[in-house]
Structure formats: structure tokens, C-alpha cells
Structure 1
């Protein structure tokens, strides 16, 4: 028996002893039954700082590995190279990378965040690939991913200035087709963020890359 059910049973037993008290308690039970599920939804749509904490920097792979271990990220590194297209990393042909280090975390209960660090034999990280996805068994929510998208955008803009390119299909598509939102920043470290989604909440995904040549 959960806490709400326990409270309701106690209230109902008291209600039998007084008609006036009964009406008041039944009203209270109704309010509790409405507020309880809504509060659960609110907690899922709230975005915490860990979910959108993106620092625009590159460095040595050892430092990033140390950081991921310190926050208890799960090491999901594969035993083969994970390729990346020139559309995402324009300088891919200029480098020979080691097998990238991959980590997974759950910054909040309905979100899975993965990071992939591409580095060379000298340990220099040239590209970090972030991806936010919905965790299985949780209700899909455009609202949550829109919040993440815009909070990350604000975070990056504070660090390196305004975007150089913005294309938001989600603002123009009214049917159930898939949209793609793109934002790019050009600085000493380039940043490219793109989001996939649709108005039917069938799919939500955010990708972000921080890179340099």
C-alpha cells in the first residue's frame, strides 16, 4: 500500500463518524488524487544542472577519463572504432584517432546522456560528441527536450558568444513529420548542436559536438 492509499483509508474511516467531516475529507481526497500524479509529471519535466552542464573545452583524454570516473559515469567504450561523418566533424580526414572513449550517465531519471571522446595517439581530444536520449519506459516529452536544447544553447552562448548559424524547423512544421533544429557556433572551439523530434512525441534526440582541427 502506498502513502496516498494509506492516507485515504485513514480519512475514510474518520469520515464515517461525522457527515460534515466526511464531506470535507472526501474533498481533500479528491485534491490529493489530482495533485499527486501532477507532481510526478512536474519532476520529470524539470531539468537539473547536470543534464545541461556542457563546458566548451578540449584537452587531454586522461583528464576527461578521470572526470567521468569521478561522477560515476558508466564506461561503455567499444572494442572497435566508431566513425563520424565530415558533416559532424569536418576535419576527420586530417587525423588518425584511437578507439574513442565512451561514457553513459543518467543525469535525471528520464534522460540518458552519452559522451564520446575522440583523441589521437598523443592523447589530444579533438572532438567530444554528446547525445541526449529518452530513457526506456518513460513517457516521451518534447517539452523536456526543448528545455534541454535551449538551456544548453544558453549555456554555450554564455561561454563563447552568439551562434553563427541557427535553423529551427520545429518552429515552422505543424504536421507530424520529423523536424531537425540546428545551431552552430564558431570560435577557437567549434560547437554544433542538432535536435531531432516530431510533434507527436514519437522521437526525441539531441546531439552536440565540440571540436577543433
Structure 2
């Protein structure tokens, strides 16, 4: 009898693994709070088997996200898409001619191959916030908008951390039509 129950359990386990091949990747495996040389970052992205999705031309970042953007002369930004999980994660890197990475932008989007629910985005947002708070301390600013009360179709939640060596901005966009997106900007200077 015990062997039959064990056999059924194993079958259910294999079935559940094959049904959902996607999973939530822990943020400590996704986010690097350091600003390494771009050469090191490129090697890490290659080792992770990330897909290079660089646009091939220069594009910029607004002052609201990176106030000192205009103080630097950047190479063409490099963009990578990480292997699929519950989310599609894209990371953009801005670096100078002398290989210094000055700005990173992480962006979590819906994985259309599975149903990425509002709850999954909510959990990921709070997981990211907790991870950064554990590493950088209490947020400098937190602003949350009420989607139900808003006259706008899309609202934005903001959390900011400022430390001696790093500035970090976490944004979450939520829409009445079901739109969800999380962005994390990291820079120093």
C-alpha cells in the first residue's frame, strides 16, 4: 500500500513539474547591486545564456530616472534578455568608453507563454523591495497610488533608496486593463 501511494506521489510530482516549466527566480539571482566593469557584466550575461537584444543605436534615459545622465558620454547601451521564467526580464546597461558601468535598468514584463498574474507581479515587487532594503537599508521614499481611485488608466508605485555608493529606484506600473510592469534603476554618482 505504501509503495502505491509513493508511486502516485512521484507521478503527481513529475506531472506538476512538466506542466509548469517556468518558475520564479529569486531576486538575489537576478539583481546585482554592484556596478562592475561592462566587460565583467558581458561575461556574466554570456555565462547566464542571456540573449543580446541590443538595439544597435544610442538611446537615453530621462533625468527623472538618472539625474546625472548628461554628465557622461556613453557607448551604445547594451540590452540582454534573461532566460524565461515567470517573467520576461530585460536588463539595459549604460557604460562609458573606459568600460565603467554607470547605470543599469532591470525590467520585468509578462511572460505571454504562461499567465503572469497580478498577484505574481505583486509578489515579485515586494520580493525586490525586501531584497534591496536588506542590502541598502530603509527606503528614502515610498509612494503608492490607488488604481481603483485613480482617474488614470495606469498608475505608478515608487520606492527609492539613496546611499553613499548607490541610488536605486523601484517602479511598478499597474493598469486597469491588467497591465503590469516592474522596473529597477541602479546608478551611482
- TM bucket, shorter chain: 0.7 to 0.9
For 1:5-20, what aligned pairs fall within 5 Å after superposition?
none
* Partner residue in 1 for 2:48: 71
User: Of the candidates 40, 57, 81, which is equivalent to residue 34 of structure 2?
Assistant: 57
User: Of the candidates 145, 148, 153, which is equivalent to residue 174 of structure 1?
Assistant: 148
Coordinate RMSD, CA, aligned: 2.5
The number of aligned residues is 172
Where structure 1 has 5 or more consecutive residues not aligned to the other structure, the ranges are: 1-31
Task: Flag the structure with larger Rg.
Answer: 1
For 1:59-208, what aligned pairs fall within 5 Å after superposition?
59-108=36-85, 110-169=86-145, 172-174=146-148, 177-187=153-163, 188-201=165-178, 203-208=179-184
**8 A Cα contact 1:51 1:107, kept in partner:** no
Please give the TM-score of this superposition, normalised by the length of structure 2.
0.81
Please give the TM-score of this superposition, normalised by the length of structure 1.
0.73
Q: Give distance in 2, aligned partners of 1:52 and 1:194.
A: 19
SS at match of 2:81: strand
Where structure 2 has 5 or more consecutive residues not aligned to the other structure, the ranges are: 1-11
Shift of 1:48: 2.8
Shift of 1:53: 3.0
**8 A Cα contact 1:194 1:208, kept in partner:** yes
